[in-house]
C-alpha cells in the first residue's frame, strides 16, 4: 500500500475523491490536511469529518490549514458547491472527532523533514503546500510523488478564460510551488478532468447498484448538476478531484508530457499555467502535464470502489 497525504478543500468532488482514496486498497491515507478553497477552511474540515464518519475511518488525523491565500483576498466556490460545500445537503456530524492542534503547513513541513515514501495529492489551492515549503525548503525532495489537481494547458479555464479555480484562488502559492518544490508536479488539469463527467445515466446506475450510495451521490451532486447546466450546458457534472486519486493509483489512466511550467500571478491571466511545451525557455521540467485520459477506465475504478461492486458487473 502506498502512503498518501491528501490536501483538500471539500467540496463535492473532493468528497468523491476522499471516498475513492480511503476505500481503495492500493493506498493508505495517513492524514488529511484542509485548506481554504471551495469553502472556508473550517467548513472544509467539517466535511472531512463527514467523510470519515461515512467510511468509518475516524482514525485518520485531520490537520487544518490556511484560512486565506498567501496574498490575494479569499474567494470561495460556494456558488459551485453550495454554502456547506456539499451541495447544501447540510449533513449533520454525529461523532466528536477533533481536528489536530498542529496547523497543516507545520505538519507537512515536519513530516517531510527527512526522505519518506509518502506522496502528497493536492486537491485544492496550493496555499498549505507553499507555506510548508517556506518552512522546509527540502519538502519536495522528501515527498515520494506530488500530484496536483489544478491548472489547464489547452482547455479553457473555469474562473476566467485561462484560470482554473485552484491556481486562480491562490496564484502566488501555485507559482511558488511550481518554482521551488524541486519535484515533478504531476498536474491533473482541466484538459483531462473535463473528460470526467458524472452523468445522469451514471447516477441512475449508482442507484441501481447500491441504493444507499446512489441516494447520497444524488443528494450531494444535485447542486453541482444545476451549476454545470447553468454555466456550461453540461448534463451532469465534471468531477475533477477523483481523477487525481485514480491517476495516482494507476498512472496508465492518463497520458502527458514533462515540461517547465510557471503560474501567472498578475493581471487578467491570474492563475494561468504557462506550459513551455516547446522549450522556449530551455529549463529543466518541473511538471508533468496530463493531456489525455481513458474516462471509461476511470469510471470502472471509481464506481467499483464507491459502489462496492464487482468490476465484471460494471463492465458488462
Binding residue (CB under 6 A) for ligand BDR from 240, 259, 265, 273: 240
Per partner kind, with CB cut-offs from 5 to 8 A, the member of Ca ion, ligand BDR, none near residue 165 is ligand BDR
Task: Tell whether residue 170 is a contact of Ca ion (CB under 5 A).
Answer: no
Binding residue (CB under 5 A) for Ca ion from 5, 29, 105, 123: 123
Stretch 110-129: interaction string toward ligand BDR, x if CB under 6 A: -------------xx-----
Q: Which span (6-14, 28-36, 203-211, 219-227) binds ligand BDR, by CB under 6 A? A: 6-14
Binding residue (CB under 6 A) for ligand BDR from 164, 172, 186, 264: 164
Q: Which span (9-17, 51-59, 194-202, 230-238) binds Ca ion, by CB under 5 A? A: 9-17
Q: Which span (11-19, 56-64, 67-75, 177-185) binds ligand BDR, by CB under 6 A? A: 11-19
Shortest reach from residue 86's CB to ligand BDR, in Å: 11
Task: Tell whether residue 158 is a contact of ligand BDR (CB under 6 A).
Answer: yes
Task: Tell whether residue 14 is a contact of ligand BDR (CB under 6 A).
Answer: yes
* Burial group, residue 151, by CB count within 10 angstroms (0-12, 13-18, 19+): buried
Task: Tell whether residue 272 is a contact of ligand BDR (CB under 6 A).
Answer: no
* Burial group, residue 235, by CB count within 10 angstroms (0-12, 13-18, 19+): exposed
Binding residue (CB under 5 A) for Ca ion from 40, 124, 151, 157: 124
Task: Tell whether residue 76 is a contact of ligand BDR (CB under 6 A).
Answer: no
Binding residue (CB under 6 A) for ligand BDR from 33, 64, 80, 131: 80
Pick the closer one to ligand BDR by CB: 126 or 209: 126
Task: Tell whether residue 41 is a contact of ligand BDR (CB under 6 A).
Answer: no
Per partner kind, with CB cut-offs from 5 to 8 A, the member of ligand BDR, Ca ion, none near residue 77 is ligand BDR
Instruction: Give the separation between CA 243 and CA 248, rounded to whole angstroms.
Output: 8
Tell me if 24 sits within 8 A of 249, measured CB to CB: yes
Binding site for Ca ion (CB under 5 A): 9, 11, 14, 123-124, 241
Binding site for ligand BDR (CB under 6 A): 11, 13-14, 38, 77, 80, 123-124, 149, 158, 164-166, 240-241
Amino acid at each position: 500500500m502506498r502512503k498518501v497525504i491528501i490536501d483538500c478543500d471539500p467540496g463535492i468532488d473532493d468528497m468523491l475523491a476522499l471516498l475513492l482514496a480511503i476505500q481503495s486498497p492500493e493506498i493508505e491515507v495517513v492524514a488529511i490536511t484542509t485548506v481554504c478553497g471551495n469553502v472556508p477552511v473550517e467548513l472544509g474540515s467539517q466535511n472531512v469529518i463527514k467523510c470519515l464518519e461515512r467510511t468509518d475511518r475516524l482514525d485518520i488525523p485531520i490537520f487544518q490549514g490556511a484560512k486565506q491565500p498567501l496574498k490575494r483576498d479569499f474567494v470561495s466556490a460556494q456558488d459551485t458547491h453550495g454554502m456547506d460545500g456539499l451541495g447544501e445537503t447540510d449533513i449533520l456530524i454525529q461523532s466528536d472527532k477533533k481536528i489536530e492542534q498542529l496547523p497543516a503547513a507545520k505538519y507537512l513541513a515536519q513530516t517531510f523533514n527527512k526522505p519518506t515514501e509518502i506522496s502528497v495529492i493536492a486537491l485544492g489551492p496550493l496555499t498549505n503546500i507553499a507555506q510548508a515549503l517556506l518552512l522546509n525548503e527540502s519538502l519536495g525532495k522528501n515527498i515520494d510523488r506530488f500530484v496536483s489537481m489544478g491548472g489547464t494547458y489547452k482547455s479553457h479555464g473555469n474562473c476566467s478564460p485561462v484560470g482554473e479555480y485552484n491556481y486562480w484562488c491562490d496564484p502566488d502559492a501555485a507559482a511558488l510551488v511550481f518554482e521551488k518544490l524541486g519535484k515533478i508536479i504531476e498536474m491533473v488539469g482541466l484538459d483531462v478532468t473535463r473528460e470526467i463527467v458524472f452523468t445522469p445515466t451514471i447516477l441512475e446506475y449508482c442507484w441501481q447498484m447500491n441504493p444507499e450510495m446512489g441516494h447520497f451521490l444524488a443528494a450531494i451532486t444535485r447542486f453541482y448538476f444545476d451549476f454545470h447546466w447553468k454555466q456550461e450546458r453540461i448534463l451532469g457534472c465534471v468531477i475533477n478531484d477523483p481523477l487525481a486519486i485514480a491517476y495516482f493509483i494507476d498512472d496508465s489512466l492518463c497520458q502527458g508530457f514533462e515540461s517547465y511550467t510557471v503560474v501567472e500571478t498578475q493581471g487578467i491571466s491570474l492563475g494561468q499555467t504557462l506550459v513551455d511545451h516547446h522549450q522556449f525557455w530551455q529549463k529543466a521540467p518541473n511538471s508533468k502535464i496530463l493531456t489525455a485520459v481513458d474516462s471509461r477506465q476511470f469510471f470502472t475504478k471509481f464506481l467499483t470502489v464507491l459502489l462496492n461492486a464487482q468490476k465484471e458487473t460494471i463492465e458488462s
